[in-house]
Amino acid sequence: MLEPLQRRVTEALKTETAVTLSTTGPGGIQAGFFPCEAEALTLYLLVPASSDVVFNLETETAVVVTTPRWQMEGRAEMCALSQAQPDLKLVQSPRAAGCVLVVVHCQRIHFNWTEGWGYQETIDCNGR
């Protein structure tokens, strides 16, 4: 991935503090609004352990993450809060109790037009 494109994606992810995560699987189509934090091309989300989103991620790792400015396709994995990077502020939040950490690796991101509908730009990130 070209460095200017990587910087553009990294900055877009870094500006968000909460996103909509959409999954599919045995629990059907599920979407929820969750707090997040980004590091490079990876987005970390706090998701309640009892959520149907977690149930879906146990069998299907393809996800879509949405904000008003962009939509990201990626692969997700779950990990315990104790396995998180030590500098990740998200897991130190009081909201972290009873949650799992969902790690989303960006594969493709679509940037929306500032006015109107559709995508202005799509960047392939060659994520996992």
pLDDT per position as a tens digit, 41-80: 999 999 999 999 999 999 999 999 999 999 999 999 999 8
Report yes or no: 52 and 92 within 8 Å, Cβ to Cβ: no
Right CATH for 3-124 from 2.60.120.890, 2.40.37.10, 2.30.110.10, 3.90.1150.10? 2.30.110.10
- Is residue 127 predicted with pLDDT exceeding 70? no
Q: How confident is the model at residue 1 (pLDDT cuts 50, 70, 90)?
A: low
Q: For tokens 């904000």, name the residue.
A: 67
Q: Name the 3-class secondary structure at 128.
A: coil
Q: What are phi and psi of 15, to 5 degrees?
A: -75, -15
Q: For tokens 């991101």, name the residue.
A: 109
Domain ranges of the chain: 3-124
Report yes or no: 25 and 58 within 8 Å, Cβ to Cβ: yes
Task: Write down the pLDDT at residue 35.
Answer: 96
